[in-house]
Amino acid sequence: MNLKQQAAARTLDYVRSGMTLGLGTGSTTAHLVDMLGERLHTGELQDIRAVPTSERTAAQARTLSIPLTTLAELGRHRGAALLDLAVDGADRVDPDLNLIKGLGRALLREKIVAVHADRFLIIVDESKMTPRLGDNCPVPVEIVPFEAEAHVRWLGTLGCHAELWLEKDNSPVVTDDENYLARCWFPDGIADPVALARTLAGRPGIVEHGLFLGMADAVIVAGSEGIRILQASEAGR
């Protein structure tokens, strides 16, 4: 197995029959969904219900006969934490287990699902670890289509190079919720991710951002020397 597959396989140790799961979006999580479908098929796992974070993940899960549900449906039967576990990948992870996510184009739904989970587990290969967020990785920002150019121009005043994310045919990338995405490149990394997140959250036209700060409970990292499991409680949180 490659590193992404190794990380996904280890993640299944956290999954038990009867759980409600949040299923993330991206290449690493796609391996997990495949493996989850196989265990349901063989009967190793039973009575799993999952909330997907994108139409892409939902389509994959349906192909594998993974039962899907919604947060609204779960809310009729459960308490505050609607999901036992949400599992997703990340584009970057810093030493405090803060994340950049969303280059799989699903950051809004990913964050909504994550905040409704009792535990949020991240799976990555070692290339995604970084000493500082923003170092050689853009922060995706979901914006409304109305006056998109103005939102991108404002983002560029935050110490970054901001660009509207375009498809190969130069049309805007459109999310499952019919918003656009911008990418913000910070040449020296992000000096204060908390302050940046606060600024982005307060701006009209900015729907959501790809800074997932203080959210991950654990990160499974697959590397050349094996699997490491980083716990939030050991990272100063």
Regarding whether 79 and 159 lie in a shared domain, the answer is no
Instruction: Give me the number of domains the chain comprises.
Output: 2
**Hey, what are 116's tokens?**
């409704």
Angle between helices 27-42 and 3-11 (to 10 degrees): 50
Kind and range of the H or E run holding 37: helix 27-42
CA proximity to 87, closest of 32, 143, 39? 32
Residue by residue, DSSP assigns 170-224 as: SPBPB-TTS-EEEEEE-TT--S-HHHHHHHHHTSTTEEEESEE-S--SEEEEEET
Nearest to 74 by CA among 84, 64, 66, 65: 84
In this structure, is residue 232 part of a structural domain?
no
Concatenated DSSP letters for 86-144? EEE--SEE-TT--EE--TTS-HHHHHHHHHTBS-EEEEEEGGGB-SSTTTTSPEEEEE-
Active site residue 234: no
Domain assignment present for 105: yes
Considering the domain architecture, whether residues 86 and 166 belong to the same structural domain is answered as: no
Contacts of 200 (CB under 8 A, 6+ apart): 141, 206, 209, 211
CATH number at residue 123: 3.40.50.1360
Q: What is the mean pLDDT of each run of 10 residues along the chain (237 residues)?
A: 93 97 96 98 98 98 98 85 96 98 98 97 97 96 98 98 98 98 97 98 98 98 95 75
In a domain, 55, yes or no: yes
User: Can you give the CATH number for the domain in which 164 is found?
Assistant: 3.30.70.260
pLDDT, position 81 = 83
Structural domain span for residue 42 = 3-127+213-226
Nearest one of 117, 91, 55 to 212, comparing CA atoms? 91
Both 88 and 201 in a single domain? no
- Indicate whether 197 and 219 sit together in one domain: no
Q: Which two tokens stand for residue 166?
A: 């375009």
Q: Quick one: 32 and 58 in the same domain?
A: yes
Question: Do residue 146 and residue 203 come from a single domain?
Answer: yes
Distance between CA 94 and CA 76 in Å, rounded? Answer: 37
Q: What is the pTM of this model?
A: 0.95
Q: Which residues pair with 211 in a beta bridge?
A: 100
- pLDDT for 26 equals 95
Q: Is residue 68 part of a domain?
A: yes
What is the Cα–Cα distance from 134 to 121, expressed in whole angstroms?
Answer: 21
Q: Is residue 134 part of a domain?
A: no
Residue 237 is predicted with a pLDDT of 54
Distance in angstroms (rounded) separating the CA atoms of residues 231 and 189: 24
The residues, any chain, with a CB within 8 Å of residue 59's CB and separated by 6 or more, are none
pLDDT reported for residue 77: 79
Contacts of 226 (CB under 8 A, 6+ apart): none
Residue 97 shares a structural domain with residue 64: yes
C-alpha–C-alpha distance, residues 209 and 212, integer Å: 8
**25/121 same-domain check:** yes
Domain membership of residue 166 (yes or no) is yes
Is 234 within a domain? no
Task: Give the active site residue among 44, 55, 73, 110.
Answer: 110
